């Protein structure tokens, strides 16, 4: 099959060829031509036009051409469903649809700026979507900071935990606080047992000492406090749905988030947001 679209692709016009080759026709050929020549060249080449107005394979409502191909060819892969939201968000400037959309847009825009040949751009772009698909299928729940974070905590232990108490906040506590604050945006599933193992110190001792230097809170309560503080900041931005905020702040689901938030603030997240946005 031959497919044709307008030149200088960025999001949909690279994502769609990737989807077609991987799930519709692995021998598909793609042509990029000036916008005004697409329909004429489509007839000459007997090619299917896509991602232009007034053709079958195009945008419908809030959905982009990628979405239409998924629906048209009945692609049921759950990873593709995840990918669809990312592509749609990047292609329609709705970066609130998926946290990865803004990153996809940034990479795609930079790639298009650096590579002037559309077919070379397509081949490089195929690698991006292969990688995104692998992430969506196998790696969504992995965190880049897991091992580095453990190593940082181990460094803190080696440098400061064995210091003698001198009636002031020890260096290890100050640095640990900074590390937790630095990591709170990317790793909200910190586990005291795992940290204790990395530090080679008994969890009971770490828990007892932790409270002395972290607002008199246990490790779990301190992390929970930071989660709630972060969620309060996100609630002030109407573009985030409650389910997204629950995910971004490390809660298992929206119900768990709502219960803990109300326990700490006396209001549900929805009620808190309503009161804030009224001001």
Distance, in Å, from the CA atom of 87 to the CA atom of 208, rounded to the nearest integer, reads 47
- Answer whether 49's CB lies under 8 Å from 57's CB: yes
pLDDT computed for residue 253 by the predictor = 72
Classified as helix, coil or strand, 14 is helix
Q: Are residues 10 and 126 in the same domain?
A: yes
Two tokens, residue 264: 């700490």
Q: Are residues 198 and 266 in the same domain?
A: no
Q: Are residues 190 and 232 in the same domain?
A: no
End-of-domain residue from the set 82, 108, 139: 139
pLDDT computed for residue 224 by the predictor = 80
Q: Are residues 96 and 111 in the same domain?
A: yes
CA proximity to 256, closest of 240, 269, 241? 269
- Answer whether 225's CB lies under 8 Å from 236's CB: no
Residue 34: CA atoms inside 13 Å, Cβ hemisphere, count? 2
- Answer whether 86's CB lies under 8 Å from 132's CB: yes
- Answer whether 100's CB lies under 8 Å from 3's CB: no
pLDDT computed for residue 176 by the predictor = 62
CA proximity to 133, closest of 94, 75, 188? 75
Two tokens, residue 32: 């990029």
Which CATH number characterizes residue 253's domain?
A: 1.10.10.60
Distance, in Å, from the CA atom of 209 to the CA atom of 212, rounded to the nearest integer, reads 5
CA proximity to 205, closest of 180, 172, 178, 250? 172
Q: Are residues 121 and 153 in the same domain?
A: no
Sheet hosting strand 48-49, strand order edge to edge? 29-33, 2-6, 48-49
Domain count, the chain: 3
Q: Are residues 124 and 51 in the same domain?
A: yes
pLDDT computed for residue 248 by the predictor = 78
**142 C-beta neighbours (distance < 10 Å), count:** 8
Q: Are residues 172 and 110 in the same domain?
A: no
Q: Are residues 16 and 128 in the same domain?
A: yes
**252 C-beta neighbours (distance < 10 Å), count:** 10
Distance, in Å, from the CA atom of 119 to the CA atom of 104, rounded to the nearest integer, reads 19
Q: Are residues 85 and 174 in the same domain?
A: no
pLDDT computed for residue 147 by the predictor = 47
pLDDT computed for residue 55 by the predictor = 97
Residue 86, Cα to own-chain centre: how many angstroms? 9
pLDDT computed for residue 255 by the predictor = 83
Range of the domain at 162: 146-216
pLDDT, one tens digit for every residue, the chain (279 residues): 999 999 999 999 999 999 999 999 999 999 999 999 999 999 999 999 999 999 999 999 999 999 999 999 999 999 999 999 999 999 999 998 998 999 999 999 999 999 999 999 999 999 999 999 999 998 887 655 444 444 545 555 555 544 544 556 666 666 666 555 445 434 445 566 666 665 666 767 776 777 777 778 777 777 788 888 889 999 998 888 888 888 778 776 788 788 889 988 999 999 999 888 876
Distance, in Å, from the CA atom of 81 to the CA atom of 6, rounded to the nearest integer, reads 25
For 209, phi and psi rounded to 5 degrees?
-70, -35
Q: Are residues 24 and 55 in the same domain?
A: yes
Distance, in Å, from the CA atom of 18 to the CA atom of 20, rounded to the nearest integer, reads 6
Q: Are residues 251 and 205 in the same domain?
A: no
CA proximity to 90, closest of 74, 68, 111, 107? 107
Q: Are residues 150 and 125 in the same domain?
A: no
Distance, in Å, from the CA atom of 12 to the CA atom of 64, rounded to the nearest integer, reads 7
pLDDT computed for residue 252 by the predictor = 63
Positions of E strands within 22-92: 29-33, 48-49
């Amino acid at each position: 099959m031959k497919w044709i679209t307008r030149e200088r692709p960025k999001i949909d016009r690279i994502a769609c060829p990737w989807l077609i080759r991987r799930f519709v026709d692995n021998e598909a050929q793609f042509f990029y031509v000036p916008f005004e020549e697409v329909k004429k060249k489509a007839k000459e080449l007997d090619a299917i036009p896509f991602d232009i107005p007034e053709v079958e394979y195009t945008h419908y409502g809030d959905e982009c051409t990628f979405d239409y191909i998924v629906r048209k060819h009945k692609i049921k892969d759950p990873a593709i469903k995840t990918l669809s939201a990312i592509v749609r968000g990047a292609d329609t400037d709705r970066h609130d649809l998926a946290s990865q959309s803004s990153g996809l847009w940034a990479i795609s825009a930079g790639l298009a700026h650096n590579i002037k040949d559309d077919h070379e751009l397509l081949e490089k772009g195929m690698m991006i979507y292969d990688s995104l698909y692998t992430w969506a299928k196998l790696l969504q729940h992995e965190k880049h900071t897991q091992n580095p974070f453990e190593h940082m905590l181990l460094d803190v232990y080696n440098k400061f935990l064995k210091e003698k108490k001198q009636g002031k906040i020890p260096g290890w506590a100050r640095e640990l606080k900074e590390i937790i604050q630095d990591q709170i945006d990317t790793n909200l599933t910190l586990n005291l047992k795992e940290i204790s193992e990395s530090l080679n110190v008994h969890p009971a001792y770490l828990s007892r000492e932790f409270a002395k230097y972290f607002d008199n809170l246990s490790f779990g309560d301190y992390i929970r406090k930071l989660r709630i503080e972060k969620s309060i900041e996100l609630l002030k931005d109407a573009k985030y749905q409650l389910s997204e905020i629950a995910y971004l702040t490390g809660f298992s689901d929206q119900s768990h988030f709502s219960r803990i938030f109300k326990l700490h603030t006396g209001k549900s997240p929805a009620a808190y947001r309503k009161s804030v946005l009224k001001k």
